[in-house]
Chains A and B, each alone.
Chain A
């Protein structure tokens, strides 16, 4: 039983990081109908931005909640800016081009970030400074919690709650939903669609950046290719939940995190990375709209 709860916590903690990435995928897909391949690499950039910010302010020497929040906020801001740059220079000119062109471009950006990251940061892993520490372990009876995992989980939940608020309670969020519902109609209603799309990109990138910092907190080894696998898995999570659906992305990501953790814990550790793709193929075969997605008929 203890082991089970341990796996549960691990799964939720990694799942919440997938969720932060998956939200960006699903939001960008919602407004632009584009799979942004570079999204996983924004998450990688987030980890590195966090690393350099922590080094710059020497946050590793006085770990505290304040240090963590400072690193988190600054990283989210820089990641949002990076997302804005990518959107403006690479995706905006392709608005009217065939979708496959934007897809190829996003693969290009993804690779550009990965390999330039290797040139700039070096391909050897870096160790993320410990900017937040809680001494000891929390324990209830036999149950031991890694406090960092709990922290990660709580912070991601908070961020998701903020996102939920932004999407469903603010004017900006309403505009986002309108653009995602029907791009042309939204623009007829006077919604500045281009600005909304840029904003969506920034929001998604900020969340991915936060994911990067949080993962650095729990698994401190960061390297330029670290974004590839979580990026793909987050995409699978977004598809599992129904791509374009915000709640679906969170549910999908948490279930994927749990599924992975249980497969590693009880079945076979070497199948960890294969699981996500198996799930993807199964979802595509049996329920391509995902758990929460609604079936859309393509109109001519």
Chain B
């Protein structure tokens, strides 16, 4: 019971912040806040695949782009002929909800077909297949004229806002937290720890991996939809391999297998990215990816568990705080 109280408190806090703080926030900081939220969803959903299930997917931006384009296309199609639907906040938000879920579902379906062949085998293949998938989806988007092709996709209605993004963040956290702490989610962990042992205990490992992958793709699609309806302009270049790589860095930095770690790392990296921007404008060199990749190598060599390892942030708190958060003494993983 106490657990649900925490989530409710967070929900109330988001609503309070939305009405009490957001109207006074300068637009630049507001957009950083939104991007942090989108990145949190991406990092946490990738963590389900990379961290909790132990598979290595490097095409998360591809799923994000599917969700972004699909949801943007749907909301444009609905509102194109009757723009007054957007004027009414109820129908506008309803349309957004529908297009977000459709984007997530589309991304999940594609995730199923990408994941199934590669996940039957050892994890390494998934890396290559998802990498190739990310490229294929980019090339396909470039060639579909209905969604703008290389020109980019414009005319997306502004439907995302702080409330939407952070409620989606909360939902993602809630869903994945509950999932990995359920008996069902424990099968994912067992696949990560020892696939053969899991198999001999009767776990259908392929099923577990595909499920985790599809759920990850779904949330990436949602994140894409939120992103599309905030940026209002989509370009295939936005979802290239560098984007996938940034999400991987978030997962690795936060600790593969730690939800709160991913959240912290997503925020840190979003802010650092913005903080580096002035330096980059002065030197006119995009050295960010060089630094990121070097950072990843050093991290892997010296602290492969990232900030939190597989622990959650509560594990670092005093037992009293932990009881407050979890309502019980023992924590997950």
Contacts and interface: CB of A to CB of B under 8 A. Distances in A.
Interface of A: 35, 37, 90, 93-94, 97-101, 103-105, 107-112, 115-116, 118-119, 232, 235-236, 239, 270, 273-274, 276-277, 280-281, 284-285, 288, 298, 300
Interface of A is mostly: helix
Given A101-B304, A280-B132, A300-B196, A35 B127 contact: yes
Contacts of A276: 132
Contacts of A277: 129, 132-133, 135-136
Nearest to B116: A285
Given A97-B304, A276-B132, A281-B117, A90 B297 contact: yes
A108 B131 contact: no
Given A90-B301, A284-B118, A112 B293 contact: yes
Given A109-B297, A281-B117, A35 B124 contact: yes
Contacts of B290: 112, 115-116, 119
A183 B131 CA distance: 29
Nearest to A288: B121
A115 B240 CA distance: 14
A107 B248 contact: yes
B253 to A, nearest CB: 11
A35 B121 CA distance: 14
Nearest to A282: B117
A31 B304 CA distance: 23
Nearest to B249: A108
A99 B126 CA distance: 14
Given A274-B136, A277-B133, 13 more contacts: A103-B56, A104-B56, A105-B296, A105-B300, A107-B127, A112-B290, A118-B286, A232-B132, A235-B128, A239-B128, A273-B139, A277-B132, A284-B120
Contacts, number: 102
A100 B123 contact: yes
Interface residues of B, number: 38
Interface of B is mostly: helix
Contacts of B286: 115, 118
A111 B301 contact: no
A104 B293 contact: no
B131 A232 contact: yes
B297 A112 contact: yes
A288 B300 contact: no
B280 to A, nearest CB: 12
Given A97-B304, A274-B136, A103 B124 contact: yes
Given A235-B128, A277-B136, A281-B129, A101 B300 contact: yes
A280 B128 contact: yes
Contacts of B245: 107, 111
A57 B294 CA distance: 33
B301 A94 contact: yes
Contacts of A98: 304
A80 to B, nearest CB: 21
Nearest to A232: B132
Nearest to A277: B132
In the A-B complex, the 3 residue pairs with the closest CB atoms: A277-B132, A108-B296, A111-B293
A115 B123 CA distance: 26
B125 interface: yes
Contacts of A93: 301
B143 interface: yes
A98 to B, nearest CB: 8
